[in-house]
Amino acid sequence: MKVLAIETSCDETAIAIVEAEGDEQSAQFRVLGNALLSQIDIHREYGGVFPALAKREHAKNLVPILEAALEEAELLREDTQAMPEETRAAISELLAREPGLAEQFFDFVSECEPPAIDAIAVTAGPGLEPALWVGINFAKALALLWEKPIVAVNHMEGHILSALAENNSETLEIKNVELPVLALLISGGHTELVAMNDWLEYKLVGQTRDDAVGEAFDKVARMLALPYPGGPEISRLAEEARTSDVLASPFTLPRPMMHDGTCDFSFAGLKTAVLYLLKNRPELTGEERKHLAREFEDAVADVLWKKTARALEETGAQTLVIGGGVSANAHIRRIFTHKMKSDYPSISLRIPSAALTTDNAIMIALAGFYRARRKMAVPDITANGNLSLA
């Protein structure tokens, strides 16, 4: 089955075409085409992602990204058939809210034969609703024109399934996964522990009561006058502190809710502790900034590990996956790899390859395949910024 997947939930415009086969326990994926445009440089000026700006950029970029993905997949064929008038009218209506998108769409698709794909998958949430809607309406327009089924994908399911996939040079493979799976999902908008007891069946085990962990990284980075997104910047400083001669950090930050007996998180207090520390010490030296970044990262990693270990015990999980943008963090990856080996050697740990940790459309294609093969296509899809898995 060939799936064309569209992702526009935040600040990445991405389309991938993936050929998938197999079943839930054992699936293989070949990426035929993958095009992605990050808006980070645009949002960086504002210190965060602005929904209206993200939406406008998605609308501008979707057609060129589609063309690039189809071309890479060698699925571009010139079309000679004229589009029926009622189809054109319906598509104009679907795309009416994005200035210029309908014109760009008609210009491109009028010269492109329906590609040999079997389903279209699109992210329906969670994310920024205005941004999600652009992708959904675009997917609907393509589905209408090409007469293909369309499946709604939960972005977090994409993170989980892609984290389960192993990269074997030519293919991505999901195989030998022992259930239940516990997923630690850490991104700019989410911090949650989710159990997958059976394929595509989820139960929420724990979640943040305030800020998401990526949000805490980004806010602390801003306090340190580092550019957006802050996660990689904090990580860079912290790694420098770890390779310095100073063994112990001169700062101590709290580990919120570490021993409260739940699998929930809280990061607002940690962020505030950094704020107060900086108020009392406005003139930190370069070295001190590095040690503060390191202590912050240590505090985050300690709490994430402690809560995950508790959730592993509670759920009896046989597999642990870590997904979402923050799973790119080198220190968190190290701590989890080390702790799993020493404390839970019989549980397998899956962390996605670097290219799959941040938002992309390949993960949406993987989840789309799982949904499409269960015939979970739906006639109407709406954006849901707070869409939850469980």
Dist CA 297 CA 376 (whole Å): 40
* Residue numbers 114-153 binding ligand KG4 by CB under 6 A: none
Q: Which of 237, 308, 358, 368 is close enough to bind ligand KG4 by CB under 6 A?
A: 358
Alpha helices for the chain (secondary structure H): 40-44, 51-72, 85-94, 101-109, 129-146, 155-164, 213-223, 230-242, 268-280, 286-315, 330-343, 354-357, 362-373
Residue 47 as a binder of ligand KG4 (CB under 6 A): the answer is no
- CB of 11: closest distance to ligand KG4 in angstroms? 8
The answer to whether 123 contacts Zn ion (rule: CB under 5 A) is no
Decide if residue 267 touches ligand KG4 (CB under 6 A): no
Residues of this chain, 228-247, that bind ligand KG4 according to CB under 6 A: 229-232, 235
Q: How far is the CB of 131 from Zn ion (least distance, A)?
A: 12
Question: Does a cis peptide bond (omega within 30 degrees of 0) precede residue 84?
Answer: no
93's CB contacts (< 8 A; 6+ apart) are: none
Out of ligand KG4, Zn ion, none, which partner does residue 232 contact, by CB within 5 to 8 A per kind?
ligand KG4
359 lines the binding site for Zn ion (CB under 5 A): yes
The distance in angstroms from the start CA to the end CA of the chain is: 27
Tell me 177's DSSP state. Answer: P
Q: Does 187 bind Zn ion (CB under 5 A)?
A: yes
Q: Which residues share a beta bridge with 150?
A: 120
Q: Which of 105, 75, 79, 69 is nearest to 90 (CA)?
A: 105
Kindly state whether residue 214 participates in binding ligand KG4, applying the rule CB under 6 A: yes
DSSP string over 19-54:
EEEE-SSSEEEEEEEEEEEE-HHHHHTTTS--HHHH
Query: Does the protein bind ligand KG4 through residue 352 (CB under 6 A)?
Result: no
Cβ atoms of 3 and 20 within 8 Å: the answer is yes
Nearest to 121 by CA among 390, 360, 389, 385: 360
Q: Which of 29, 106, 133, 217 binds ligand KG4 (CB under 6 A)?
A: 217
- Confirm or reject binding of residue 218 to ligand KG4 (CB under 6 A): yes
Among 135, 324, 352, 368, binds ligand KG4 (CB under 6 A): 324
Total binding residues toward ligand KG4, as defined by CB under 6 A: 19
Please report how close the Cβ of residue 358 comes to ligand KG4 at its closest, in angstroms.
4
For ligand KG4, the closer CB: 292 or 326? 326
CB 123 to Zn ion: min, Å:
9
Treating both helix axes as pointing N-terminal to C-terminal, what angle do 268-280 and 286-315 enclose, rounded to 10 degrees? 160
Q: Which residues contact Zn ion by CB under 5 A?
A: 187, 359
Q: Which residues contact ligand KG4 by CB under 6 A?
A: 10, 187-189, 214, 217-218, 229-232, 235, 324-326, 328-329, 358-359
